[in-house]
Structure 1
Amino acid sequence: MRKSKFNVAIALSVAALTAFTTACQDTTVPTDGGGETSTEASSGGEGGLKLGALAPSTGDLSSIGQNMPVAAQLAVDTINMCGGVNDADVTLIQEDSQTDPTAGGAAMTKLAEVDKVAGVVGSFASSVSSSAVDVAVRNGVMQISPGSTSPVFTERAAAGDFDGYWARTAPPDSYQAPALAVLAKKQGFDKVSTVVINNDYGAGFEQEFVKAFEKLGGTIVNKDNPVRYDPKAATLDSEAAAAFAGEPDAVLGVLYAETGSILLKSAYEQGLSEDVTVLLTDGVYSPDFTQQVGTTEDGKSIIAGSLGTVPGADGQALADFETLWVEETGGEITAFVPHSWDAAIAMMLAAEKADVNTGEGIRDNLRAVTNEPGEEVSDPCEAIAMIREGKEINYQGASGNVEFDDNGDLAGSYDVWQVNEDASLEVIDTVSPVDAL
Structure 2
Amino acid sequence: MKKSLLSAVALTAVVAFGGSAWADVLIGVGGPFTGPNAAFGAQLQRGAEQAAADINAAGGINGEQIKIVLGDDVSDPKQGISVANKFVADGVKFVVGHFNSGVSIPASEVYAENGILEITPAATNPVFTERGLWNTFRTCGRDDQQGGVAGKYLADNFKDAKIAIIDDKTPYGQGLAEETKKAANAAGLTEVVREGVNTGDKDFSALIAKMKEAGVTIIYWGGLHTEAGLIIRQAADQGLDATLISGDGIVSNELASIAGDAVEGTLNTFGPDPTLRPENKELVEKFKAAGFNPEAYTLYSYAAVQTIAAAAKAAESIDAEAVATAMKEKGPFTTALGDISFDEKGDPKLPGYVMYEWKKGPDGNFSYFQKDS
Q: TM-score range by the shorter chain?
A: 0.7 to 0.9
Shift of 1:328: 4.4
Distance in 2 of aligned mates of 1:104 and 1:242? 35
- Counterpart of 2:345, as a letter, is N
- TM-score, normalising length: structure 2: 0.85
Which runs of no fewer than 5 residues in structure 2 stay unpaired? 1-19
Name the structure 1 match of 2:188. Answer: 217
Does structure 2 conserve the Cα–Cα contact (< 8 Å) formed by 1:152 and 1:204?
Answer: no
Q: 2:246 aligns with which of 264, 267, 280?
A: 280
Q: 1:56 aligns with which of 25, 32, 44?
A: 32
Q: Tell whether 2:268 aligns with 1:308.
A: yes
Name the structure 1 match of 2:14. Answer: none
Does structure 2 conserve the Cα–Cα contact (< 8 Å) formed by 1:101 and 1:127?
Answer: yes
Matches within 5 A, 1:201-216: 201-216=172-187
Does structure 1 conserve the Cα–Cα contact (< 8 Å) formed by 2:29 and 2:68?
Answer: yes
Q: 1:206 to 1:243 in 2, by over 3 A?
A: farther
- TM-score, normalising length: structure 1: 0.74
Q: 1:83 to 1:237 in 2, by over 3 A?
A: same
Distance in 1 of aligned mates of 2:87 and 2:214? 48
Shift of 1:52: 0.9
Shift of 1:46: 0.8
Distance in 2 of aligned mates of 1:198 and 1:397? 34
Matches within 5 A, 1:91-240: 91-112=67-88, 114-156=89-131, 160=132, 162=133, 164-190=134-160, 191-222=162-193, 226-233=194-201, 235-240=203-208
Which runs of no fewer than 5 residues in structure 1 stay unpaired? 1-43, 295-300, 371-393, 432-437
Distance in 2 of aligned mates of 1:430 and 1:52? 37
Distance in 1 of aligned mates of 2:83 and 2:281? 30
Structure number with the bigger relative contact order (C-alpha 8 A, sep ≥ 6) is 1
Shift of 1:143: 0.4
Deviation per CA, 1:87-142: give whole Å up to 9, x if none: 22121112222122222221121112x21111101111111112311111111110
Does structure 1 conserve the Cα–Cα contact (< 8 Å) formed by 2:202 and 2:230?
Answer: no
Distance in 2 of aligned mates of 1:326 and 1:304? 27
Shift of 1:234: 5.8
Does structure 1 conserve the Cα–Cα contact (< 8 Å) formed by 2:287 and 2:293?
Answer: no
Does structure 2 conserve the Cα–Cα contact (< 8 Å) formed by 1:244 and 1:251?
Answer: no
Does structure 1 conserve the Cα–Cα contact (< 8 Å) formed by 2:280 and 2:336?
Answer: yes
Deviation per CA, 1:37-75: give whole Å up to 9, x if none: xxxxxxx94133211111222223222331221111111
Deviation per CA, 1:147-191: give whole Å up to 9, x if none: 1011222432xxx2x2x1001010101111111122223323443
Q: 1:364 aligns with which of 316, 325, 341?
A: 325
SS at match of 1:309: strand
Q: Which runs of 4+ in 1 moved over 6 A?
A: none
Does structure 2 conserve the Cα–Cα contact (< 8 Å) formed by 1:414 and 1:430?
Answer: no
Q: 1:320 aligns with which of 272, 279, 291?
A: 279
Does structure 1 conserve the Cα–Cα contact (< 8 Å) formed by 2:129 and 2:345?
Answer: yes
SS at match of 1:419: strand
Shift of 1:205: 0.6
Q: How many residues matched? A: 347
SS at match of 1:179: helix
Name the structure 2 match of 1:396. Answer: 334
Does structure 2 conserve the Cα–Cα contact (< 8 Å) formed by 1:75 and 1:345?
Answer: yes
Q: 1:232 to 1:332 in 2, by over 3 A?
A: closer
Does structure 1 conserve the Cα–Cα contact (< 8 Å) formed by 2:140 and 2:300?
Answer: yes
Q: CA RMSD in A?
A: 2.3
Does structure 1 conserve the Cα–Cα contact (< 8 Å) formed by 2:104 and 2:128?
Answer: no
Shift of 1:209: 0.6
Work out the percentage of aligned pairs sharing the same amino acid: 24
Name the structure 2 match of 1:8. Answer: none
Q: 1:290 aligns with which of 256, 260, 265?
A: 256
- Counterpart of 2:51, as a letter, is A
Distance in 1 of aligned mates of 2:146 and 2:213? 25
SS at match of 1:93: strand
Q: 1:45 to 1:368 in 2, by over 3 A?
A: farther
Q: 1:69 to 1:428 in 2, by over 3 A?
A: closer
Name the structure 2 match of 1:427. Answer: 369
